[in-house]
Structure 1
């Protein structure tokens, strides 16, 4: 299934994409697309639906594909070439940091340059949405804890992140720094999560291009590792890391400026586009 949330901020309606690509209204069945939708009874009901019997949602804004996100856990340096361009050795275990859930926005929303911002950067990432509580879960059982996947743009302000007191949290958490979606795709729709092409363009120039098989730590390893340190709950989001090609890693650096357009694609997960304002 491809689950969506369509509507203006705060007024999104739950939907599901049918075979023709239309969004069908799920609001009579689920209140929203959040952690509760992954309950086995709800998923069984959704899978049994005759989508043609549901009303079509009017065209509109794609909101974040998941709401009620308790926490966003990001993985740093999870592609060897990105670690290298950032001046670090490949980590021996996942590097974790947090991003405020208030940074989430829609796949086609504008990305705002924050007040005082000067080094705005992009990162195409595979987003992993947790569907079942995971605590000290094994690598072998980790896949059972996945609710769905999405495209995630881990937007960063590098001066906020690395200069001054150098706190990653404040460089990652500004409003609109987490475009998410357009769809939340359930695992049964994806043949091999470890073999998806990722691409990010800025003004039609390819900046990032890789495959999820290039990740140092795959999705099951990440879920298992993170669940050792915190309980993952339905609706939590893991941003699994980005490949090389970020603006900070270029020589000279090529940070985003107002008017720049980012376009992100991941196999099976759709497309995003944001303009910097």
Structure 2
């Protein structure tokens, strides 16, 4: 099942996909174009992976990491489908990162790899923009690179875990203004989903609605003001985002709605 959160007619609604429309929690039907798309969950702790694809590490001339490189993201970074993300005036290189996002559905500590998928509620798409001008160390990205407001679109859907039989065999693609610019597969992750869940839960308790952004393959290129960026994950959908300038009249839809 595909689930979403949207704003419609002055209210915020949980919704499911039904025959090309949205069935809202109050049993109303709405068209995809008639709503404001919000992040499909209110994420709790968010873990983001750096250099988790061999081809991306090679693209950046970095060695393959020996253990997961993980940093945290704050709640103000998240925005929904069809939102806008600001490109700061002083940035010369701002690139997308198409990622499979794993949503934790059950609390756990010291989770074994063979039990890891039992703690997954579902999956969504994340586009984790990076502002490379401010990067000090790729092994430990600093806050200004990865925690700007509305810099991480997620959604549109959460797809239930049982509907994704093999999350380690999904194609990821990114399009800028309709042109394919990135293509990869989750088969090429260095640290697979069960390993990530085992690693994280070895030193902290994972909770419901925690989220793991699992990294991006090679092919991240600069984006410009006015670009429409579509990140796509097989079996989940397409996440649309538009780049705007700092003083654009277009404003981002905030995650707190």
Normalising by the smaller structure, the TM-score range is 0.7 to 0.9
Residue 53 of structure 2: aligned partner = 79
With over 3 angstroms needed to count, the CA separation of the structure-2 counterparts of 1:167 and 1:271, relative to structure 1, is: closer
Are 1:74 and 1:98, in contact at CA under 8 Å, matched by a contact in 2? yes
Residue 55 of structure 1: aligned partner = 28
Question: For 1:245 and 1:231, how far apart are their aligned partners in 2?
Answer: 34
Residue 197 of structure 2: aligned partner = 223
| Cα offsets for 1:69-92 (capped at 9, x unmatched) | 222100111110001111111112
Residue 177 of structure 1: aligned partner = 151
Q: Which has the higher strand share?
A: 2
Matched, 1:245 2:219: yes
1:252-263 maps to which residues of 2 (within 5 A)? Answer: 255-263=222-230
- Deviation of the 1:95 alpha carbon: 1.0
| Cα offsets for 1:145-197 (capped at 9, x unmatched) | 1111001001111112338xx84322111111110000001111112111111
Secondary structure of the 2:155 match is: coil
Question: For 2:183 and 2:120, how far apart are their aligned partners in 1?
Answer: 25
Matched, 1:273 2:240: yes
Question: For 1:162 and 1:245, how far apart are their aligned partners in 2?
Answer: 21
Secondary structure of the 1:162 match is: coil
- Deviation of the 1:134 alpha carbon: 2.2
- Deviation of the 1:121 alpha carbon: 1.1
1:17-56 maps to which residues of 2 (within 5 A)? Answer: 17-18=17-18, 20-26=19-25, 54-56=27-29
TM-score, normalization: structure 1? Answer: 0.81
Are 2:95 and 2:220, in contact at CA under 8 Å, matched by a contact in 1? yes
1:1-277 maps to which residues of 2 (within 5 A)? Answer: 1-7=1-7, 11-18=11-18, 20-26=19-25, 54-57=27-30, 59-67=34-42, 69-114=43-88, 116-162=90-136, 167-247=141-221, 255-277=222-244
- Deviates most, 228-237 or 73-82: 228-237
Question: For 1:192 and 1:184, how far apart are their aligned partners in 2?
Answer: 16
| Cα offsets for 1:213-242 (capped at 9, x unmatched) | 111111111111111232221111110010
Question: For 2:11 and 2:65, how far apart are their aligned partners in 1?
Answer: 42
Are 1:114 and 1:174, in contact at CA under 8 Å, matched by a contact in 2? no
Secondary structure of the 2:114 match is: coil
Secondary structure of the 2:212 match is: strand
Question: For 1:188 and 1:148, how far apart are their aligned partners in 2?
Answer: 8
Question: For 2:61 and 2:39, how far apart are their aligned partners in 1?
Answer: 32
Question: For 2:142 and 2:124, how far apart are their aligned partners in 1?
Answer: 23
Give the root-mean-square deviation of aligned CA atoms.
1.8
Are 1:15 and 1:57, in contact at CA under 8 Å, matched by a contact in 2? no
The runs of 5 or more residues in structure 2 that have no matched partner are 245-257
